[in-house]
Structure 1
Amino acid sequence: MAYAYAACIDVICDNARYYRSKAVQAYLEDSRIKLVFLPPYAPNLNRIERLWKLFKKTTLYNRYYESFGDFRNACEGFFDNSHLYRDQMRSL
């Protein structure tokens, strides 16, 4: 356990209110744990945002699906074959 000897332990957090509560702040006052907050809206730091962007681009935008089944198949096809989009994901 390398962290057992660390002088400070940084914990990356989103901006959920409970991280900023008085009880949590009081608990951490005498702790080695330091909360590091992400910016309020940082889609470039969140990989899932990149995936949704590519999904919308390849599957949703300017597409017409005759039936819900066709739409569902297109969505499932994207995720079943997501390995085909690795290079595009890296460039986003």
Structure 2
Amino acid sequence: MQLLFLPPYAPNLNLIERFWKYFKKIVLYNRYFESFADFKAACENFFRHPNQYRGDLRSLLTENFAIVGE
């Protein structure tokens, strides 16, 4: 195991932050839900069909970033 230094706030280096940003873009942005049930259904639909977003998620959830200072 190797420990990596991360700055105090580095959302672009944290994979879960990238995932949630994409999730909000697909499910929440520019949408109005009449009820909580509609909101819940939209969220569940996203997680039930991950293959629909496979290409985007594969490119977003990589640790393909430059390491400076080595």
Superposition TM-score, scaled by structure 1 size: 0.55
How many residues are treated as equivalent by the alignment? Answer: 60
Q: Deviations over 1:32-70 (max 9, x none)?
A: xxxx42111111221111111111111111101111101
Larger gyration radius, structure 1 or structure 2: 1
Kindly indicate which of the two structures has a greater share of residues assigned to strand: 1
Q: Which aligned segments of 4 or more residues in structure 1 are displaced greater than 2 angstroms?
A: none
Alpha-carbon separation, structure 1, partners of 2:5 and 2:60:
26
Q: What residue number does 1:84 align with? A: 52
Q: What residue number does 2:25 align with? A: 57
Superposition TM-score, scaled by structure 2 size: 0.70
- Structure 1 portions without partners, runs of 5+: 1-8, 13-35
Greater RCO (CA < 8 Å, at least 6 residues apart): 2
The percent of aligned pairs where both chains have the same amino acid is: 60
